[in-house]
Chain A
């Protein structure tokens, strides 16, 4: 240990760190720690000259370990690991002290912040002394993909993968392909037929040699790990089938809100209050009429049914504004004499060309009535003298009047919500759901189709309300991620993972249920638990839970943690 020569580098980060923390003093204090051979401060350690300085010092001064005191390791750990690797050091012999997010950005008292920075650097130095050189490994990659759900997202993804020459297993719970889009009549804003859009894809999917379609089937079990999953599905015939798939793409879509939950709309009680999907079915049949078989003269479309509500869903379902405008066109085209009104809280037809669509709907003599989110309209049956089926009472915001609107047919723009089996699927493929039940992506902006489980991707409206173009884009984005891995032919396995020391393991299986990633197998012959390093994320739950202390987390050994604690004290 005594022969270690540690280099400490303290970053100014422009003024981000330097204006609060006295970086020169931090570097100076580091020099006093035994084992520290040199300490520098510099304006930007992550810059090329900064990295070059570290590499040159390693060569010139025979440094054996490096501490960089700068930003969060999430930001630049990779940068500095690369720099020391280029100079011939093992990348795991680096330790970072976060003196930006955890110090300069959150403190005003410069003197105290400097003292804290010194302590953080001290901790990093004491820890790095115990760091061990580690090597990353690779595992083979199975090129085929399991696509869950054959809606518009699943279809496009399956075709892209198959066209790239890869095997696809397309598993669909229903008895037909097309998902929710198959339930639509026209699409907005170009009023193309949804059936036409789907038809070419569906026929290609059926005839594609690289796609195996499983209708009326579902995933029952998923074992294996990134690149080597073993999904088990129950097929149409009740048969249990195990497949080999390197990647899993979940695109299970959404379901619609149950409109009867909003009492004053009278859905289920008033026969001519219908949901947007019921209207789509009417339009598909070409029979736009009331339950009594009459042509409606007044058609009202109520927006935000279940969306943007404290009681039901806080989020906006995003597609309904434009879909409601689409109905205005479709109703007018079927019944030119009909009056169409849109009752909305906010109108935002956000897509490409959709603002024009909104303007045209307005020009096509659609009235737009605004209500407040906490003053929902109410619908009641009209008397014969009223000359209409129903009366909608709405406190209209822009005129300030309480208005009674005649209505013959009321269409509720029901919100999109996670499917009832979403949480079961999440458990099966080991991904998480947010508070509303949507699948969570790895990063909302930078990694929108990956999940926290490597090799499992999400796309389309199972992640959040999406329109058709967005779902298609997401499906293809996931395919790009999958094909990039397939092109490498293997997957990199992080050097940081947990290991069971067989000698100490009693086979109690405590760790098996603790692992959030399903990375621990139990060998019932040897009575030992075994961690699949490719699946393990090194979270440490198993190590903390093991009653025998048999589990060691690489790069997070007890010595390293104790060293860090002693350092900071």
Chain B
């Protein structure tokens, strides 16, 4: 079955930040330089070709882009300056938009104005929401930070966090289902038995927590930086989602909340600043190009980390009103960051990457079992 080419695809991908893929002449140096590229997932060469040829469907069903961690080796090796690494990044953004059923992702990635407007709107709504909750709930006093009469009491925040978490998780889950449909249920994919799905399930947490494939990239710094950032964030998330009452119970805070809180705050700020510095200096291929969404993500992360720290300091030095105001400002960063980034933008890769590794492994296992493609091609016709 012939695939219809969409010559406009490459234009579209450029809006997602794909750079210079037109320059590629398929020499394959990029794939030779890559430590992860291996049959049948030969990237970036193959994805570059799909992009050049306008082969939308094969590109949408590709797992390859998620198997790339963007160490930048390919872009350094490219003889034509086609920036294969950044192209893969652009393809991942495009795929995120393709997986997203709401269409919001497409809007946010293609227009920085929309992204900015969305962030500001959500921030404003968040601020207004918490202020009105604090004041209108009855007895709310902005001068009380902790304890039972707190302006933003722990139980309320807790409820809010979990509600938001469940909604975002659900949205991301739906997008993951779409990813599964595109990548595992297309005509070239092999059918995978339920038992294979179950037997390989441990791959998901393994790669989620360790990112051990990333470590095999020739350049180790991005892996280390990314791991610290991720673990710091996970620690902070756990503290907030599970131990919020210990952090906000009163002037006395448990030693572990302190220790983990400080460690993760340092980790978050340090890695974010490192990433910002790299993107400004552009001294390595993997951060030479920055899409607006990259800046938005780093900006929000830095904003959230810093306001969180200030809020903590204000609370510790006994300025509850200032601490409360900073708390609301902090939430005005946290909510848009999570609500927009996790299901619709850069942060969705937390699910897509482990899934892609899992799916790729399933495909290879199915092949080893001798499965035939879902849309099995008709018997080859004898040449007339």
Contacts and interface: CB of A to CB of B under 8 A. Distances in A.
- The finding on whether chains A and B are genuine partners in a shared complex, rather than unrelated, reads yes
Interface of A: 298, 339, 341, 359, 362-369, 393, 396, 398-399, 401-406
B49 A393 contact: no
A399 B22 contact: no
Contacts of B254: none
Nearest to B54: A367
Chain A binding surface, main DSSP class: strand
Contacts of B46: 399
Of all A-B residue pairs in the complex, the 6 with the closest CB atoms, nearest first, are A339-B7, A399-B49, A404-B2, A402-B2, A398-B26, A404-B4
B22 A393 contact: no
B1 A402 contact: yes
B14 to A, nearest CB: 10
Given A398-B49, A405-B7, 8 more contacts: A362-B25, A367-B52, A368-B25, A401-B53, A403-B3, A404-B4, A405-B5, A406-B7
B53 A369 contact: yes
A365 B82 CA distance: 12
* Interface range, B side: 20 to 34
Contact of A396 (B4, B8, B53): B53
A383 to B, nearest CB: 12
Interface of B: 1-5, 7-8, 10, 20, 22-26, 46, 49-50, 52-55, 58, 80
A402 B3 contact: yes
Given A359-B80, A405-B5, A406-B5, A399 B23 contact: no
A399 B2 contact: no
User: Max chain A CB contacts within 10 Å: which of B2, B20, B23, B54?
Assistant: B2
Contacts of A362: 22-25, 80
A401 B4 contact: no
> Which of B3, B10, B80: most chain A CB closer than 10 A?
B3
Contacts of B24: 362
A403 B7 contact: no
Contact of B58 (A363, A393, A401, A405): A401
Contacts of A402: 1-3
A402 B58 CA distance: 11
B25 A404 contact: no
B230 to A, nearest CB: 35
A368 B49 CA distance: 10
A367 B7 contact: yes
A298 B5 CA distance: 11
Nearest to B188: A401
A403 B2 contact: yes
B55 A401 contact: yes
A404 B49 contact: no
B50 A298 contact: no
Nearest to B26: A398
Contacts of B4: 403-404, 406
Nearest to A375: B383
Contacts of B8: 339
A398 B47 CA distance: 11
A363 B23 contact: yes
Nearest to A398: B26
Contacts of B2: 393, 402-404
Contacts of A367: 7, 10, 22, 52-54
A329 to B, nearest CB: 14
30 contacts: A341-B7, A359-B23, A359-B80, A362-B22, A362-B23, A362-B25, A365-B10, A366-B22, A367-B7, A367-B52, A367-B54, A368-B52, A396-B53, A398-B26, A399-B46, A399-B49, A399-B50, A399-B53, A399-B58, A401-B55, A401-B58, A402-B2, A403-B2, A403-B3, A403-B4, A403-B5, A403-B53, A403-B55, A404-B5, A406-B4
Contacts of B3: 401-404
Contacts of B49: 398-399
Contacts of A365: 10, 22
A42 B7 CA distance: 73
Nearest to B11: A365
Contacts of B23: 359, 362-363
Nearest to A395: B2
Contacts of A403: 2-5, 53, 55
A301 to B, nearest CB: 14
B53 to A, nearest CB: 5
A393 B5 CA distance: 10
Given A362-B22, A365-B22, A402-B1, A298 B7 contact: yes
Given A402-B2, A406-B5, A363 B22 contact: yes
Nearest to B4: A404
B66 to A, nearest CB: 19
Most buried by A among B1, B5, B8, B10: B5
